[in-house]
Amino acid sequence: MTILVTGATGNTGRCLVHQLVDAGQAVRAMTRAPQTAHLPAAVDVRYGDFEQPDTWPGVLEGVERVYLFPHVDVAATSGARFIDSASGGRFVDHAVRAGVRRFVVHSAVAAGFPPGDEPAGPGRQYLKQHLAVERQAHRELEQWVEATGAEWTHLRPGLLAVNALGWAESIRAERVVREPYPTSGYPWVHEADIAEVAVAALLTDAHVGAAYTLTGPDKITHAEQVQTIATAIDDIIRFEELTPQQALEHWIRDGVPAEYADWMLELRADSINGPGCIPPTDTFHQITGRAPRSFAQWASDHRADFL
């Protein structure tokens, strides 16, 4: 049985490829850059682009199961919305015609939020709007898969621990992290946990028709994250607290669009006390019998990124 991993060079996809190879599976990887993919030698790496249908037959021939990376564009601004899950959806239709019988969909926690009732606190208009757009985009792709009649499992991760790589440059260069709200944080999920559940959903029948919200074990604040990374690299990292206004200016100077900066700030403000809109789940434990990987484990696994 050949398993296709799309998004195979991404954070979760790469991890999944390694876990499937370790499990002795025949893995095909789709990427737009096979020459620089750096995947294990056993993997059949093929050129493929969600936006170029003529590349799909070569990627999908002989494939029975697919890990589907979400090719959706999510851009929310205060006024405008743009959502497109169509190229990912057309890829799904083509895959079923080519013989694919099962999809494991990399989705997002927002896909499980009740429509029109995004669980952000009061006064979080930009965050609520962003979550609504995320919800729609990811849910549309999930529904596209469900409508094909193929078997499916939806994996809906909360916020990813790899988001902390956004601090890697300033940690490497200055041993500093600049953020507002040191007590803000979420139960960051390790990409290896998502990959592990994906392996189970691809290889066994136990998860067909399930939608899983995956998080890390507990809320870890930004200040705790920074301290944990410092421990992993055995050095001191300064947490430089920004005011909300300074944070907006800092992100915009770094190239974040202004309308993104607004919801990024509200996302952080939402979890100053408690886990905000993404409380921890025990899904990973229920599936594997083990606790989810901790942020300390993640920091140790990514030590080299911060040195």
Residues near ligand NAP (CB under 6 A): 7-11, 13, 31-33, 49-51, 69-71, 74, 108, 157, 159-160, 163
Task: Kindly tell me which of 137 and 237 has the beta carbon lying closer to ligand NAP.
Answer: 137
Distance CA 87, CA 93 (A): 10
Task: Kindly tell me which of 8 and 92 has the beta carbon lying closer to ligand NAP.
Answer: 8
Please choose, from the candidates 199, 203, 189, the residue with its C-alpha nearest in 3D space to the C-alpha of residue 282: 189
Distance CA 68, CA 105 (A): 5
Q: How far is the CB of 234 from ligand NAP (least distance, A)?
A: 27
Please choose, from the candidates 189, 255, 264, 179, the residue with its C-alpha nearest in 3D space to the C-alpha of residue 219: 189
Q: How far is the CB of 137 from ligand NAP (least distance, A)?
A: 8
Q: How far is the CB of 235 from ligand NAP (least distance, A)?
A: 26
Which residue lies nearest ligand NAP, judged by its C-beta?
10
Task: Kindly tell me which of 69 and 306 has the beta carbon lying closer to ligand NAP.
Answer: 69
Q: How far is the CB of 71 from ligand NAP (least distance, A)?
A: 6
Q: How far is the CB of 108 from ligand NAP (least distance, A)?
A: 4
What's at 75, amino acid-wise? A
Q: How far is the CB of 14 from ligand NAP (least distance, A)?
A: 8
Task: Kindly tell me which of 108 and 233 has the beta carbon lying closer to ligand NAP.
Answer: 108
In contact, 46 and 233? CB cutoff 8 Å: no
* The residue count for the chain: 307
Q: How far is the CB of 215 from ligand NAP (least distance, A)?
A: 10
Distance CA 25, CA 3 (A): 8
Task: Kindly tell me which of 124 and 135 has the beta carbon lying closer to ligand NAP.
Answer: 135
Q: How far is the CB of 24 from ligand NAP (least distance, A)?
A: 23
Task: Kindly tell me which of 12 and 297 has the beta carbon lying closer to ligand NAP.
Answer: 12
Task: Kindly tell me which of 35 and 204 has the beta carbon lying closer to ligand NAP.
Answer: 35
Distance CA 108, CA 36 (A): 27
Task: Kindly tell me which of 60 and 74 has the beta carbon lying closer to ligand NAP.
Answer: 74
